[in-house]
Amino acid sequence: MCGIVGYVGKAKAAPIIIDGLKRLEYRGYDSAGIAVLHQGSFHVAKEVGRVAAVQHTLASSPLEGTRGIGHTRWATHGGVTRENAHPHLSSDGKIALIHNGVIENYAAIKKFLLTKGYTFASETDTEVLCNLVAYHFEKEPAPADGGSRLLDAVRKTLLHVQGTYGICVLGLDCPDELVAARQGSPLILGVGPDELVVASDVAALVSRTQNVVYLKDGELVAISGNTFQITNRDDVGVDPVIDQVTWKVEDSELGDFEHYMLKEIFEQPVALENAMRGRFSADESTANFGGLNLTPNELRGMGRFMFCACGTALHAGMVTEHLIERFARVPVECDHASEFRYRNSPLFTNTLFFVVSQSGETIDTLAAMREAQRKGFKVLAINNVVGSTIAREADGGIYQHVGPEIGVASTKAFTSQLLIGAMLALYLGRMRDMSVRDGTEYVAALKQAPDLVREALEQAPQIEEIAQRYARYEDMLFLGRLELFPIALEGALKLKEISYIHAEAYPAAEMKHGPIALINPECPSVFLVPQNEIFNKVISSMQEIKARGGPIIAITTAGAELPEGLADEVITIPACHEAVLPIVATIPMQLLSYYIAVARGCDVDKPRNLAKSVTVE
């Protein structure tokens, strides 16, 4: 979850590290810090709060030096205090370390180190790791072959560690070196002409270089001057594979928008176009996916599909479940990735797994994928980050191609996942009994999605006015049916994430089975009520709410006729194909949550207690 940056080069390290941390702040913003090695000493600046607080400190006390490490924290072990902020120094002052992840056996290691005279100033598992490196460094003789004493100390330390980590380490007695390692937490090496940068996300690297090496689990990189060497945990050399980052730093700039979330909401038409580009057959009757690594015959032989994901991505999987069952007539199951590997659920042998993760680093989803593969199942990935761990380890997959998403609350990544799910349902349906004619109509509908979203975005001023009226409420319900029930879940999640309003979602017909007890004039309900075969059923649920004094916001499709006075607010979206409807219906949900959060004075891009990429259990 945390963001880490390490720098070795010819330029001053501090400004480069601070710039990288600001670009990684969506990964955690409880506290931040930086350590620079200069003239035989570590110079450290740490503050509670945002990276800007450290930047302010450095404005009056600049740090010199061309080697350094920096960190922006999402707290796990220990409260949000300056003492718990990274970087941590060993109690002998010789090692500086930053860490993303969780050391599960830190208590036993700490107990051991206390017997060796090491002391602790924080409550963190990271300081324990730092002191353990110092312990092994002191025991480690200088390598006779001219190797790295610091690297050897880090490698021996990690043999005793249980848990996940992405770390960067500096040693006072090794002023030209930096060592980094990963296990379960992402770590990327940026290779520039005169500098090397290590970070937990390419967002921190693209302002310096487009050339990157994605480290794998169990790998360590030792940087010395302008050179680097990668080895595995057995001290066997690894030949680096240098990839090119396909987007530029300008893609992650805020531009004229007030928040990244609003920017990314309005980027959705282009994001959808990018997700579709080149993925339809020549006769435009089906979808094409180049990276599935399964033949049509193998796909036809699958009797069941399983989607594992977390949060917003799981909601996308639930919509995909509905569409695949509707158009391909194949059973689909969705599961929380965080629960899957801890259950012993029976699995059919001809099941194909899909994992969905924008970042490709979500630890629960990664663990679910590995568990499915361990049991002999093929796993395909839907994700947005080329070179991510899930993308590399999956048996095949589909990239979203929506560019960097900075806002913690997912928007354009979610709607692109919905689009890819709809295309997948088409692809599988055409393999079975969907006709050419139906496929052609389906493709035409999907190709309209970007323009339909543009039309829905035109409702933003009206939705902002509605948000002003509803920002005072502390409870809200979201209700939908069929493929729109997961969209109701997503609407409730967005509102919770960024406005801190308690929100719940239910299938509309489930209200009378318990949740209707919550209805009162202080609990508004948001209804998704498109003109379809169960339109009147949803209207009946709305009548039940209205009869009990609950305010109603209705999101409906053009041409639908709601009973007069039934809804207090009406937001109209374009009528469209049922495969596209979840995408279009998502837009007013996103805008409503965004404008309510702004009206309540919330930090939309950095909501409390959250981080963009969940890389710890």
Point out the residues that are catalytic.
2, 612
Core vs surface per residue 542-572: b (16+ CB within 10 A) or e: bebbbeeebbbbbbbbeebebeeebbbbbbb
The set of residues, in sequence order, having a beta carbon less than 8 Å from that of 117 and lying 6+ positions away, is none
Q: Which residues pair with 131 in a beta bridge?
A: none
From the number of C-beta atoms within 10 Å of its C-beta (0-12, 13-18, 19+), residue 324 rates as: buried
The set of residues, in sequence order, having a beta carbon less than 8 Å from that of 514 and lying 6+ positions away, is none
Query: How many other C-beta atoms lie within 10 A of the C-beta of residue 345?
Result: 9
The set of residues, in sequence order, having a beta carbon less than 8 Å from that of 154 and lying 6+ positions away, is 133, 136, 167, 169, 179, 181, 220
Which whole-number Å values give the CA distances from 179 to 155, 157, 268, 543, in the listed order? Answer: 10, 12, 40, 64
Helix, strand, coil shares of the chain, percent, nearest 5, are 40, 25, 40
Q: Token pair 């940087």 is at which residue?
A: 223
Give DSSP secondary structure letters for 329-343: ---EEEEEHHHHTTS
Rounded to an integer, what distance in angstroms lies between the CA atom of residue 414 and that of residue 317?
A: 10
- Taking alpha carbons only, the member of 205, 42, 189, 22 closest to residue 32 is 22
Rounded to an integer, what distance in angstroms lies between the CA atom of residue 489 and that of residue 529?
A: 15
Which whole-number Å values give the CA distances from 444 to 137, 354, 440, in the listed order? Answer: 64, 26, 6
* Helix orientation angle between 485-499 and 581-599, rounded to the nearest 10 degrees: 20
DSSP state of 579: T
AA identity, residue 439: G
**379-383, strands of its sheet edge to edge:** 332-336, 304-309, 351-357, 379-383, 396-399
- Taking alpha carbons only, the member of 124, 131, 182, 91 closest to residue 139 is 131
